[in-house]
Structure 1
């Protein structure tokens, strides 16, 4: 008589699933016909069919994907910038710091994206350029909203979007709203630092003008970081952000010069000459100047 405690063969154990039931269960787990799939959630049918080259050039796919992915990153950047600015306006600095750090990381992604586009040689670009018409990154409404959100206001930059009233409305709203830096200065003033009213209650659609009084307010923060630790951290988050933005602009210039030289841009700009002028734009001037004066 067999021992009552002896182990039974697996095939005779009613708790052990049969090979047929295992296969059936696996098939059920892989059946997404009745639930949302990965592709459904990410709308991949729309995303992956949005690349429609107009030329026979092999390299046009690179050009399209580069710019489409950059626009996606810019969408996320605007999402974070708007939220960070709103948090600063409400004196909620900790979540704002996380969002600004994320924006700096997004800028790093955009910087490295130029490395991929730089693999396109001048003959390869020339083969597809006639098919681009007047389309140009200069016309990116998201990029323009980023510039405005960071304080680089220029009324002339509304014009490239005049042909699309819906987009012009979005860009104009960014143009007229306080920038990230405007809200940072208003925060300093609320904390009792001597930021003049000319910089806290101004027409926010006008270009920002550097102020010695604003620099003195930031200097007070940087000379006593223990007292003003969160404002000090805010200053450094802004520095990180502009540092990353400058790198993006620089890589843009060098990539364009590498691919098209000094030809005019497809949108009618001076190309490299225009982009080089943008390298001189300083978004948060007092935060940079105080480093000399500390």
Structure 2
């Protein structure tokens, strides 16, 4: 990216962080440094840890989800290979490698049981963490999690993974719009200098996204599936009704395999309901936490 692109996107990030009282912090782990956003502990009884999806970052949850920091202690994490996290490529970028780095951060940062929220790739990592550390997670929220096997893949993603390329990631405005048409039901309309800056940002991280996809393949597309019975935390699974990335029909089978789970469809949205219908996602999470608190 050139200086103008970096300045434009950096200013937008800083505005959102200021708006919701979030501060940039770093955790030094075994293979690098994880970046995260954190706010003062307004409600020490409830800490929410948020794990984003493939190619996204801690700053890309949208105003509704970032706004939860106004009512709860929140931690938005950049997974290895994403955002501002600095990570050794030799350590691997699959979900289990990410889990190993996340464990150290959460051991240091969060006391007592907390609410763990993960979307897509982040949902896979969140599920793996909850299965391995049941005493640490009071509530688990999974938004169309990855790692549930080939049968969960939408047709476009399945075809991409079977070929040499990938539908994830973009390098140009045109590729960005095609990607958005996959993850959104109604893609946002962005043009001009902002669209060019966002495409430049995607280009700068394109290689890292492809590495994550390859390492995920290597670990297995069903890496979370076999761990589901070990998840004992109260679980809410949220799915966009029009998700093209992971099939919405997967929800029913997923709920049967989780010991203590409920599911909720968010209407009129795709793979990123927290961006298309953020207020509804926040309301669902808030109800879930309130009605199932011990």
- TM-score, normalised relative to structure 2: 0.24
Structure richer in helix, relative to its length:
1
**Bigger radius of gyration:** 1
Structure richer in strand, relative to its length:
2
- TM-score, normalised relative to structure 1: 0.24
